[in-house]
Amino acid sequence: MSISPFLIEIDRYMLDCSAKGLSPKTLKSYEQTLKLFSRYLLDNFEINDVNSVKAEHIRAYIRSIEERGKFEISAAETPVNYPERRGDFGKPVSKTTIANYVRNIKAFYSHLYSEQLIRSNPLKGLKNVKPERKIKVMLEDNELKQFFRSFDVTKFDQYRDWVIARIIFDTGARIGELLEVVASDIDLRGNALLLRKTKNSKQRFVYYSEKTRKHLRSWLAYKDRYSDSTYVFPTNRGSKLRIEGVERSFRLRSKDVGLQVTPHLLRNNFAKRYLVNGGDLATLSRLLGHANVDITAQIYLDFADKEVMKKYRQHSPLENLDI
pLDDT for 7 = 93
**What strands lie across the sheet with 192-195, from one edge to the other?**
186-187, 192-195, 204-207
pLDDT for 190 = 94
pLDDT for 81 = 43
pLDDT in tens, 117-161: 998 898 887 777 766 666 667 899 999 999 999 999 999 999 999
Q: Is the pLDDT of residue 246 over 70?
A: yes
Beta bridge partners of 182: 231
Torsion of the alpha carbons at 290, 294, 299 and 303, rounded to the nearest 10? 130
Query: E-assigned strands of the chain?
Result: 186-187, 192-195, 204-207
Percent of the chain scored above 90 by pLDDT? 57
Radius of gyration of the chain (CA): 23
Q: Is the pLDDT of residue 301 over 60?
A: yes
pLDDT for 67 = 83
Give the DSSP per-residue string, 215-267.
HHHHHHHHHHHH---SBSSB-TTSSBPPHHHHHHHHHHHHHHTT----HHHHH
pLDDT for 2 = 64
Cα 28 to Cα 86: distance, rounded to the nearest angstrom: 23
pLDDT for 127 = 75
Against a cut of 0.75, is the pTM above it? no
**Range 205-210 average pLDDT:** 95
